[in-house]
Amino acid sequence: MRPAALLYPRKCPFCRALVEETAWLCRDCEQELPWTGASGKTSGSFFSLCWSPLWYRGRAREALLRFKFSRRSAYAPSFGHLMAAQLREKLKTMPDTITYVPLSLPRLWRRGYSQSRLLARAVASELGLPLERLLRKRAHRPAQSGIRDAAARRANVSGAFAPCRGAVIQGKTVLLIDDVITSGATLSECSRVLLTAGAERVLCATLCKAGKGPINSQRNGVWTV
């Protein structure tokens, strides 16, 4: 056991119970979390598919909110592991690179870190793929979480993103990472920008998916792409 593990023992990010040093979550959460299973894929306007292992409810929602707003950045490796495990099973071929939905500078300064970047870094590490900053947010807009109407959500992110200067996007299949997919407006707008900049294809992955679909007791379904 690492000496640091004695002072900072690993905890399940979902229920905060102590777990073994090599575990990503506890056995109870392994069985009881709201896994999306075969309902975990979402199609969008400009991205081929988005994969999400968990529904945005219960312990999954509570853990994600702590991750975003209570400085629980240490959750990222566990979350990234769950996302990467699903992608490893579902993808026939791996993308060329991984990127993430960026925050505006005011929101980044206030939060202290980009939760999507931390997730993307964890997924990239798990899959052995490069992580690149391909997008920037050029306009600070109200948070999508406070907007319920789908058309208003699309309007809120329209024109909010742009390619980073010097980003090499041409001809690449890009895996775009975010924390949760609701209407898909943010992922669609980011994907549109990437495709306009020359990306061959955009795939997406999030930890959670909003909705009221059935809970699948299995961590993974049978769908592939």
* pLDDT of 152: 74
**Within-domain flag for 5:** no
Is the pLDDT at 6 greater than 70? The verdict is no
**Within-domain flag for 203:** yes
The tens digit of pLDDT for each residue in 205-214 reads: 999 999 877 7
The tens digit of pLDDT for each residue in 67-90 reads: 999 999 999 999 999 999 999 999
**Within-domain flag for 22:** no
Print the domain residue range for 111: 35-209
Cα separation, 88 vs 86, whole angstroms: 5
Give the pTM.
0.89
Query: How far, CA to CA in Å, does 169 sit from each of 75, 181, 216?
Result: 29, 23, 36
CATH value at residue 189: 3.40.50.2020
Count structural domains, the chain.
Answer: 1
